Amino acid sequence: MPDQRPLAIVKDLRAATHYAAVLDVIRNRIIELELAYPTVDVLAGFTDTYTSKLLCNPPLKRMSVDSPFSILGALALVPKFESDQERLQRLRRHRDWQKRKKRRPIPKQLASAQAVA
């Protein structure tokens, strides 16, 4: 029977604002789940030793566009995006800030999804 104790490391994560921080999140989750890298390779659908090449320090390989979603899914993590109000204010004060001049109409499928949410 799998271990049912609560998982604590991931609850203490801070926002990952750069690639190295994302790697730290993944490394910590693997430690927390007590998984071996070959197991992560299988769960994520990677070739043998790919996880170890991604997570060694310094990494021998960098993740492709799809790899983070595969490895995070294998570790039961979901990336979530939230607005950073401090950075948004700095962005709006930037000298090159311009509002869009012309808005494209919202497709019907998107508009109905937004109405439901």
Letter string b/e over residues 27-58, b meaning 16 or more CB atoms within 10 A of that residue's CB:
eebbeebeeebeebbebbebeeebbbebbeee
pLDDT digits (tens, 9 = 90+) for 88-115: 898 888 878 777 677 777 777 666 666 6
- Helix, coil or strand: residue 104: coil
pLDDT digits (tens, 9 = 90+) for 10-23: 455 567 888 998 99
CA distance between the termini of the chain: 39
CATH number of 1-79: 1.10.260
Query: Residue 73: pLDDT band by 50, 70, 90 thresholds?
Result: very high
pTM to 2 decimals? 0.69
| Domain boundaries along the sequence of the chain | 1-79
Query: Residue 66: pLDDT band by 50, 70, 90 thresholds?
Result: very high
**Strands (DSSP E) found in 23-71:** none
